[in-house]
Structure 1
Amino acid sequence: MSENASAEPRGDAMDVERWRGKVYTDGWTVAAGGTIDVMEPGTLQKLTEVGLANADDVFAAATRAAEAQREWAAKKPAERAAVLRAAGDFFVRNAEELGEWVQRETGAIAPKAGLETLVASNECFDGAALPHHPMGDVLTSDEDHWSFARRLPSGVVGVISPFNFPLILSIRSVAPALALGNAVILKPDPRTPVAGGVMIMRAFEEAGLPAGVLQLLPGGADAGAALTEAPEVNVVSFTGSTPAGRAVGEACGRNLKRAHLELGGNNALVVLPGADIAAAASAGAFGSFLHQGQVCMTTGRHIVHESVYDEYVAALREKAEHLPVGDPWTTLSPIGPIIDEKQRDRIDGIVQAAKAAGGTIEAGGSYEDLFYRPTVVSGIDTQNPAWSEEIFGPVAPVIKFSTLDEAVALVNQSAYGLSVGILGNVGEAMKVADRVRSGKVHINEQTVSDESNAPFGGFGDSGTGSRFGGYTANIEAFTEVQWLTVRSDIAPYPF
């Protein structure tokens, strides 16, 4: 904890004087777009400043990245693996210093910050194994030649990451893309450019990554659009809202680029009859209120059997009413601030609309500054705004069901399909799991979960499927397939 939460964090690892007010291309440089202040949501004060890239910065970076990528891809697998391991070590060695930046820039509790640095190190360590992974197949052929399908680096990868878990949601694309021989242009959300970009750049800078292979360009929508337009960029890996993802996907399609889209979610937690309600309410509160509900996997819909509905609502209300709210850095509160006023007002607008549509606010429904109280809304139907929209805030809408068929229908009613949790009897939960449309299903766990070696992605409005995590997803995401044949002599032809 800091006595002066408005003071810029200090430490040798981050070496703030190197990068304050700058971006990274061939070193830390001044951006054509100028600078942007990074605000601390817990205090509403300036934390630091970084360079702000515009479209011209992105186009120049793409040209440089294409040059650097060829030399990087030609490195021996052991050389690329060594850089990834060294970057992972950076996150391990400096977890405490980096964790302060994550906490204060994102308004996070200490365990969330610790999770981000831990996952960042694991992504690098997992990535270090990729250069030695088999990169193709020997194919059968009716011709007198050897036939191979081999994987080659895609080239230049653009990574666009959001504000909520900025370190994890950047590094999970950056690390495997680099490990597989690509160059990367990273554009983190300008609200969280330090955790989402600077500390990753510092990790690979210290790890000895050659200049130009990773470039850091925090920026707005114009910088993101430039990544989809730059001819040198072959793949765009985007994590963010569904509307923004649609725009990225459309632009990439027009320019014949591959787009990997990990988008929103309105995730369901199903509480079966006979479930341990105390344990279920604890799981539901964690799923809805962790990091103020600003997680794509947040539990946005609680689907509870009618036999335990009242008991569950009462238990969840009790949890919400007794969770302290405040700046996690100065007070150690488990519920911190919303990222900014625009997001806070959107959350409150949905909550008030839910009440106007007949819902009952059991707890919360109010805020001070950027601190929105954990909120439970009961008595809703499927037309209620709190049910149908991704709120991205600490709000738990609860609806009841009577049969498993009804529970499955309620889960599948959403256009999103990212994560589902099912609590209660495992046999009954398995019946539900086999019928729901979701990229992830967790039995007797809530909806928020992520591991570096597990495939991550969703269906429908949640994106284009599993494009992150594990060897298979990462290799498919960041390489291209080439057919290669070899004969001992020139083949005879009839011409």
Structure 2
Amino acid sequence: MRIEEINKSYMNGEWVDGESGNLYDIRDPYDNSVVTSVNLATAGQLEDAFQVAEKAQKEWAQSSVEERRRVLQGAHDYLNENREDIVQLMNRESGSTILKANLEIDLSLAELKEAINSADELYKVKVLSSGIEGKVNKVHRLPLGVISCISPFNFPMNLSMRTIAPAIALGNAVVHKPDVQVGLSGGQIIAKAFAHAGLPKGVFQSILTDINEVGDGMIDNPVPRLISFTGSTPVGRHIGKVAGENLKKVALELGGNAPFVVLGDAVVDRAVDAAIFGKFVHNGQICMATNRIIVHQDVYDDFVEQFVAKAKGLQAGDPKNPETVVGPIINKEQADKIMGIAAEAKKDGLRVVLDGDRSGNVISPIVFADVPNDSKLAQSEIFGPIATIIRAKSDDEALAFANDTEYGLSSTVFTSDLEKGQRFALQVDAGMTHVNDQTVNNEAHVAFGGNKASGLGRFSHPWIVEEFTTTKWVSVQEEYREFPF
């Protein structure tokens, strides 16, 4: 796969240059080299894409289950067959380590497999009785229409695919805007896969542009019936407001401040292993990433000692090196922000038990201990390789700390008592809680989503079916009905 084949917008089945006159350089976050340059699309081109999608969707809605499955399987096979090229691109475009890139491809393939399973959910009919003599009630499941999809930079292929694949499986069309920093792996490889699979023109379109060019065009255009967005909570609030004013549905997966709770009876070394992965996978640039490590005082000192020793041994550097665990932050601005968070925490007097180094956009692990749960550091979504360890006097205090956040996406509790762990998990106000595991979990057949400021709606089959379809009641009066007047 040559980059020159996919560095354009994909519109109505064609690869086209953006007409804005503005050239955007996609850069390798490790060495700042230019991966490729793209011409950004205009608001007018985006509007055209929605018009094309609206027409294409009406035809795609009439496709058979077999055709939808064939296309989805074809896209799956294309990605699988081109895995090595995609891994290399993710290394350069998003700074993904080899481990993370392969994980992301596997997650994307799983989304396609589950979408294949969802394809026969369309046009299902539920027959219900009626209190009116001679009437039969039928409730049909129909395609929603056109879906607007906006995805972020951190897991661009996977977080795009979890909307795109089920939407197409359920007879919808999709207009997609990946974060242009990772526009190739976040959108254009997906477009290439579906084009290869024979998806009709216009059903999926991926636009390389940015907000300076298109403004709110992805959310206030009258065509899309649902806005699917993964990203920050402030942007999600704006999308929710605009969508609400236009009476559009939303599926929002937003920020997180995931608590990793270690109870007094936990096996410490196992908890440390899980916490290290949950904190530092993809450098902490994940909404589900472990953000606050809340440890019962009975095992606190042991946990801190083991965690620091293990974090100190993680290799940071070039993501193309198979030994690298911590690669580069996505860009200089984000790296500056993370270092600023660390500097402010130090200024506030928080105890540093492991201080990291910065080389370009690569930041090696930084660990703070004895952090107050109500501190600015603990209450911020860090989105970087800074670990925050908090002491809890009891299980009840640990639970209170876990819930003391505006977010509620993912969470974890470690304990030797599995029944107690499950009871604890049900009391954590988050969409997902994992017992004796880390916080970064995603399975395409399990409900995924958050509470509170972490989002609205649930992804994954079969929950996504309700989000991406509409129901229609058709009643059939099989016998003549007498009316009172």
Q: Which of 440, 455, 462 in structure 2 is aligned with 1:448?
A: 440
Match of 1:139 in 2: 128
Worse overlay, 444-453 or 220-229: 220-229
Q: How many residues end up aligned between the 2 structures?
A: 480
Q: Give identity over the alignment, percent.
A: 38
Q: Whole-Å Cα distance in 2 between the matches of residues 423 and 482 of structure 1?
A: 45
Are 1:20 and 2:7 counterparts? yes
Q: Which of 92, 113, 116 in structure 1 is aligned with 2:104?
A: 116
Give deviations 1:232-283, integer Å, cap 9, x for gaps.
1111000000011111111100111111110010000011113222221111
Give deviations 1:202-223, integer Å, cap 9, x for gaps.
1100000000110011222253
Do 1:187 and 1:224's aligned partners in 2 also have CA atoms closer than 8 Å? no
Q: Which of 207, 219, 240 in structure 1 is aligned with 2:197?
A: 207
**Local SS of the residue matching 2:180:** coil
Are 1:432 and 2:420 counterparts? no
Please state how far the C-alpha of 1:490 moved relative to its aligned partner.
6.2
Q: Whole-Å Cα distance in 1 between the matches of residues 295 and 24 of structure 2?
A: 45
Q: Which of 335, 339, 345 in structure 2 is aligned with 1:348?
A: 339
**Local SS of the residue matching 2:84:** helix
Q: Which of 389, 393, 412 in structure 1 is aligned with 2:380?
A: 389
Match of 2:366 in 1: 375
- The residue type equivalent to 2:126 in the other structure is D
Do 1:21 and 1:30's aligned partners in 2 also have CA atoms closer than 8 Å? yes
Q: Whole-Å Cα distance in 1 between the matches of residues 221 and 442 of structure 2?
A: 32
- The residue type equivalent to 1:274 in the other structure is D
Give deviations 1:377-418, integer Å, cap 9, x for gaps.
112112322101000001110011121111110011011001
- The residue type equivalent to 2:148 in the other structure is G
Do 2:121 and 2:170's aligned partners in 1 also have CA atoms closer than 8 Å? no
Match of 1:3 in 2: none
**Local SS of the residue matching 1:259:** strand
Match of 1:32 in 2: 19
CA RMSD of aligned residues (A): 1.6
Gaps of 5+ in 2: none
Do 1:150 and 1:484's aligned partners in 2 also have CA atoms closer than 8 Å? yes
Q: Whole-Å Cα distance in 2 between the matches of residues 43 and 53 of structure 1?
A: 27
Structure 1 residues 492 and 292: CA distance shift in structure 2, 3 A: same
- The residue type equivalent to 1:482 in the other structure is K
**Local SS of the residue matching 1:100:** helix
- The residue type equivalent to 1:156 in the other structure is V
**Local SS of the residue matching 2:430:** coil
Q: Whole-Å Cα distance in 2 between the matches of residues 384 and 366 of structure 1?
A: 23
Q: Whole-Å Cα distance in 2 between the matches of residues 33 and 245 of structure 1?
A: 26
**Local SS of the residue matching 2:314:** coil
Structure 1 residues 492 and 52: CA distance shift in structure 2, 3 A: farther
Q: Whole-Å Cα distance in 2 between the matches of residues 20 and 446 of structure 1?
A: 36
Q: Whole-Å Cα distance in 1 between the matches of residues 74 and 10 of structure 2?
A: 22
Please state how far the C-alpha of 1:26 moved relative to its aligned partner.
3.3
TM-score (normalised: structure 1): 0.94
**Local SS of the residue matching 2:439:** coil
**Local SS of the residue matching 1:101:** helix
TM-score (normalised: structure 2): 0.96
1:164-313 equivalence runs, <5 A = 164-222=154-212, 223=214, 225-313=216-304
Q: Which of 465, 468, 474 in structure 2 is aligned with 1:484?
A: 474
Give deviations 1:128-159, integer Å, cap 9, x for gaps.
12221363422221122210111111100000
Q: Whole-Å Cα distance in 2 between the matches of residues 326 and 450 of structure 1?
A: 26
Match of 2:390 in 1: 399
Are 1:462 and 2:449 counterparts? no
- The residue type equivalent to 1:469 in the other structure is S
Are 1:130 and 2:118 counterparts? yes
Q: Whole-Å Cα distance in 1 between the matches of residues 145 and 260 of structure 2?
A: 40
Please state how far the C-alpha of 1:43 moved relative to its aligned partner.
1.3
Do 1:320 and 1:364's aligned partners in 2 also have CA atoms closer than 8 Å? no
Worse overlay, 28-37 or 337-346: 28-37
Q: Which has the higher contact order (CA 8 A, sep 6+)?
A: 2
**Local SS of the residue matching 1:191:** helix
Q: Whole-Å Cα distance in 2 between the matches of residues 103 and 470 of structure 1?
A: 29
Give deviations 1:180-227, integer Å, cap 9, x for gaps.
000000100011001100110011000000001100112222536101
- The residue type equivalent to 2:127 in the other structure is V
Q: Whole-Å Cα distance in 1 between the matches of residues 167 and 426 of structure 2?
A: 33
Do 1:88 and 1:123's aligned partners in 2 also have CA atoms closer than 8 Å? no
Match of 2:311 in 1: 320
Please state how far the C-alpha of 1:18 moved relative to its aligned partner.
2.9
Please state how far the C-alpha of 1:433 moved relative to its aligned partner.
1.2
Gaps of 5+ in 1: 1-10
